[in-house]
């Protein structure tokens, strides 16, 4: 398996007319390939394609493990105060969900895109299995609406906080079990050999989809057809991608189903420089819904973290309580249903309606402030780009520049919500200050990467190098704002 000696240089790959990179083709095993390390891509492709039939066993194992993680703690005794993941299954389950699964899946997209979805996720596999047995009805418009996964993400994220999904096994069972049930039901009713859930409704899928655009794995058509990305149910692809027209990564769950190394058509695995798709986002179907989701979704996740650590939240709660009680609305001091809020007297945590209202309100307020701030900095960058020879209209420039925040948003999310994983680094001898340095290193990398992507997007918009600093300033301000907002999570209050 040897590649020809063609040299890849980044600038030589850019065609000025389209602003997109044009790969230099290389021959591997008698087949034309493009991208970085083509011999490695060919090897990975062969490995997965030859073992594709066995993926079903991997899905089955993960499915059983997933069920055990979310339901077994419900029938086990309460863990003792000094329980560790190694001594108690309930503590182990919470550790696996939040200490390993959450941060590692998000970090993995940088290297392998949505490989979690296609290769390991038991929820998507269960949805597809149900689909094979199900009613196969046409996917309705309300499911196909682009805002559906945004709504789904917001509901699950807020509910997760009010029921205490990071602390209570009952809440894990409700949120993850409920999501699994919804995935199976949707799969059972809608689509024909498809994963309507994964494409349209999964609360995690859209987030992984946005972040997968910075990933090093991409599936590209061998024979590309013009016309840009299209949605079609007449395709082998479980997420309704029109294979020959595929341009963007976000909906590809990397199932390898469209890949056949011996065929002339279909897709091939193309390795690329991380961030390349965002750098030239104009050639990869940029989407305003996705950009607003990036702003809103990371904003609400931030709110879900900040209410736990900011003293300001507790002051706000007190003010709201006084206002309610002052108006004679004493019912806010009573506890509500356990499926809507945390009611665990045995663990000394009982939320009242007041908590439900203030947590929800705080998260929504954080989301709106975050989205407004990033919306403003992106608008300012797009406007300044237009003033300095940036091409296309303001809306298009806005959408393109909105993607520059992807790395800093992703890294902040992983550091802020992946505290358990970072604490585990103590096991390999790191102390508090070492862990802070690891987090700082990751954060600065995400920040620098976002600024660099902003610069590249502006370059492809045609803004000359000597004027680029001006529209870069709002981009830098936006990235610093993301970092400042997550500061309590990264470095403490
Ligand atoms: S989109 Fe959601 S349900 Fe589907 S495979 Fe990915 S994480 Fe799993
Ligand atoms: S494009 Fe190919 S690899 Fe990606 S989800 Fe569709 S069939 Fe699977």
Q: For a substitution probing ligand 2, which of 191, 234, 257 has the most ligand atoms within 8 Å of its CB?
A: 257
Around ligand 1, the residues with Cβ closer than 6 Å are: 117, 121, 123-124, 183, 197-198, 202, 204-205, 253
pLDDT band at 87 (very low <50, low <70, confident <90, very high): very high
- Is the pLDDT at 362 greater than 60, yes or no? yes
Mean pLDDT of 100-112: 90
Digit-coded pLDDT (tens) for 258-301 = 998 888 889 999 999 999 999 999 999 999 999 999 999 989 98
Structure token digits, residue 196? 């309507």
Q: How many angstroms separate the CA atoms of 294 and 172, rounded?
A: 25
Q: Which of 412, 107, 395, 449 minimizes the C-alpha distance to 278?
A: 449
Q: Which atom of ligand 2 is nearest to the CA of 266?
A: 2
Which residues are paired to 408 by β-bridges? Answer: none
Q: What is the CA radius of gyration of the chain?
A: 24
Q: Which atom of ligand 2 is nearest to the CA of 253?
A: 5
Digit-coded pLDDT (tens) for 132-163 = 999 999 999 999 999 999 999 999 999 999 99
Q: How many angstroms separate the CA atoms of 106 and 289, rounded?
A: 20
The three-class DSSP label of residue 5 is coil
Q: Which of 379, 391, 406, 44 minimizes the C-alpha distance to 206?
A: 406
CB count within 10 Å of CB 476 equals 18
CB count within 10 Å of CB 219 equals 24
The helix-helix angle for 353-387 and 148-163 (nearest 10°) equals: 140
- Is the pLDDT at 43 greater than 50, yes or no? yes
Between 90 and 3, residue with greater pLDDT: 90
Q: For a substitution probing ligand 1, which of 109, 199, 253 has the most ligand atoms within 8 Å of its CB?
A: 253
Taking every pair of Cα atoms in the chain, the longest distance, rounded to a whole number of angstroms, is: 79
Residues 6+ apart with CB under 8 A from 312: none
- Is the pLDDT at 15 greater than 60, yes or no? no
1 burial via Cβ count (<10 Å: 0-12, 13-18, 19+): exposed
pTM for this entry: 0.90
Q: For a substitution probing ligand 1, which of 120, 197, 251, 254 has the most ligand atoms within 8 Å of its CB?
A: 197
CA of 359 relative to ligand 1 center, distance in Å: 27
Q: Which of 283, 118, 266 minimizes the C-alpha distance to 205?
A: 118
CA of 115 relative to ligand 1 center, distance in Å: 10
Indicate if ligand 2 lies below 6 Å from the C-beta of 366: no
The three-class DSSP label of residue 38 is helix
Indicate if ligand 2 lies below 6 Å from the C-beta of 254: yes
The three-class DSSP label of residue 379 is helix
Q: Which of 277, 286, 285, 192 minimizes the C-alpha distance to 230?
A: 285
Determine the pLDDT at residue 488.
80
Of the listed ranges 59-68, 99-108, 124-133, 233-242, the one predicted with least confidence: 99-108
- Which residue, by CA, sits nearest to atom 4 of ligand 2? 252
Ligand whose nearest atom lies closest to the CA of 218: 2
Q: What percent of the chain has pLDDT over 90?
A: 73
Digit-coded pLDDT (tens) for 248-260 = 999 999 999 999 8
Q: How many angstroms separate the CA atoms of 354 and 321, rounded?
A: 7
Digit-coded pLDDT (tens) for 464-488 = 999 999 999 999 999 889 888 888 8
Q: For a substitution probing ligand 2, which of 200, 237, 270 has the most ligand atoms within 8 Å of its CB?
A: 237
Determine the pLDDT at residue 5.
37
Of the listed ranges 31-35, 166-170, 325-329, the one predicted with least confidence: 31-35
CA of 58 relative to ligand 1 center, distance in Å: 15
- Is the pLDDT at 7 greater than 50, yes or no? no
- Is the pLDDT at 95 greater than 60, yes or no? yes
CA of 125 relative to ligand 2 center, distance in Å: 14
Digit-coded pLDDT (tens) for 323-360 = 999 999 999 999 999 999 999 999 999 999 999 999 99
- Cα distances from 430 to residues 8, 63, 349, 412, 435, in angstroms, run 40, 34, 32, 21, 6
Q: Are 226 and 173 in contact (CB under 8 A)?
A: no
Q: Which atom of ligand 2 is nearest to the CA of 255?
A: 8
- Which residue, by CA, sits nearest to atom 8 of ligand 2? 255
């Amino acid at each position: 398996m040897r590649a020809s000696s063609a040299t890849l240089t980044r600038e030589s790959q850019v065609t000025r007319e389209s602003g997109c990179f044009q790969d230099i083709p290389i021959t591997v095993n008698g087949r034309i390939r493009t991208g970085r390390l083509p011999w490695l891509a060919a090897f990975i492709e062969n490995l997965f394609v030859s073992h594709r039939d066995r993926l079903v066993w991997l899905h089955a194992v993960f499915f059983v493990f997933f069920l055990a993680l979310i339901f077994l703690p419900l029938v086990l005794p309460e863990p003792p105060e000094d329980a560790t993941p190694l001594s108690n299954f309930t503590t182990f389950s919470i550790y696996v969900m939040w200490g390993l699964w959450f941060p590692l899946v998000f970090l993995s997209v940088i290297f392998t895109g949505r490989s979690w979805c296609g290769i390991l996720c038991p929820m998507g596999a269960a949805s597809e299995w149900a689909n094979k047995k199900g009613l196969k009805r046409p996917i309705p418009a309300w499911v196909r609406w682009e805002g559906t996964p945004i709504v789904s993400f917001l509901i699950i994220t807020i509910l997760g906080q009010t029921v205490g999904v990071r602390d209570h096994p009952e809440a894990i069972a409700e949120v993850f079990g409920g999501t699994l049930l919804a995935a199976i039901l949707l799969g059972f009713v809608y689509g024909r050999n498809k994963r309507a859930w994964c494409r349209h409704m999964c609360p995690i899928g859209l987030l992984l989809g946005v972040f997968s655009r910075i990933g090093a794995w991409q599936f590209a058509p061998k024979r590309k057809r013009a016309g840009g990305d299209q949605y079609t149910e007449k395709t082998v692809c479980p997420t309704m991608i029109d294979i020959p027209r595929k341009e963007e990564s976000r909906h590809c769950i990397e199932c390898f189903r469209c890949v056949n190394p011996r065929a002339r058509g279909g897709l091939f695995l193309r390795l690329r420089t991380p961030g390349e798709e965002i750098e030239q986002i104009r050639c990869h179907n940029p989407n305003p819904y996705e950009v607003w989701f990036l702003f809103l979704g990371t904003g609400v996740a931030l709110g879900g973290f900040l209410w736990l650590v900011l003293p300001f939240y507790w002051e706000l709660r007190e003010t709201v309580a006084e206002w309610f009680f002052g108006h004679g609305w004493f019912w806010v001091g009573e506890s509500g249903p356990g499926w809507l809020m945390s009611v665990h007297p045995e663990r000394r945590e009982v939320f009242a309606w007041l908590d439900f209202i203030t947590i929800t309100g705080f998260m929504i307020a954080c989301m709106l402030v975050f989205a407004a701030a990033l919306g403003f900095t992106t608008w300012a960058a797009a406007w300044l780009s237009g003033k300095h020879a940036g091409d296309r209209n303001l809306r298009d420039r806005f959408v393109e520049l909105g993607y520059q925040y992807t790395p800093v948003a992703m890294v902040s999310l992983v550091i802020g919500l992946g505290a358990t994983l970072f604490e585990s680094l103590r096991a390999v001898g790191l102390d508090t200050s070492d862990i802070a340095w690891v987090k700082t290193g990751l954060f600065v990398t995400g920040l620098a990467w976002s600024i660099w992507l902003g610069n590249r997007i502006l370059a492809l918009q045609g803004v000359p190098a000597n004027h680029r600093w001006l529209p870069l300033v709002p981009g830098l301000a936006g990235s610093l704002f993301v970092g400042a907002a997550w500061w309590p999570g990264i470095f403490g209050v």
